[in-house]
Structure 1
Amino acid sequence: MTTIVIFKSNDSYKGFTCMGHAGFGCSGKDIVCASISVLVINTLNSIEELAKEHIVTESNEKEGYIECHFPDDINDKTKLLMDSMVMGLKEIEQNYGTRKKKKFFELIIKEV
């Protein structure tokens, strides 16, 4: 199962962690894992390149782990990109999070 925890404080994003593999399909054919990966990685790249935001990341591809922290207050572009990622992740959770009583993906938004 993949779990993403979004850290927020007073409606501002502080970072997030993405952990695990969804297990929805075979390795290389897991549409849930692929969808989550595309959203998360594209968001990180967009935050750096388009929003020019300083971010601190750590990852382990084999373990399915990505961590991102915003050491400073984020700008409006970063907030928009994070809002967009969360919106996409909510759709994935709604449509594929649980199937036949098996959980594949969980999105948690945590106030810090």
Structure 2
Amino acid sequence: MGATVAIPFDTLAYAKELETAGVPPEQAEAQAKALSNVLQKVEESRLQEMATKQDLRELELRMVIKMGAMILASVGLIIGYLRAFPMPVQIVQAAPQELRQVAPQPAIPPAR
């Protein structure tokens, strides 16, 4: 991030406060300038550490790719396991006509 960020720090007001506290004017100006430089460097270092939107997009893409690979690997392992060790007993469904029940006989015979 080559851009510099302006920190709202009033060096003149700070130097005047130091002067009213008894600090010589030259020393007050030097301290104000030094403090301004320190604040600027701190802000620049914070901006360099901050993740940008592009960094977050790249991270999201890497995570999606890794999750997809993990899902494919786990499905492959499950299929491989099922082919290597098939189920010993196969469950066979009964034919549909065998499941029908006989219709109950009416209690009263139909009238003729």
Q: Give the alignment's TM-score, normalised by structure 1.
A: 0.29
Structure having the larger proportion of residues in strand: 1
Could you state the TM-score of these two structures normalised by the residue count of structure 2? Answer: 0.29
| Bigger radius of gyration | 2
Q: Which has the higher contact order (CA 8 A, sep 6+)?
A: 1
- Greater helix share, structure number: 2
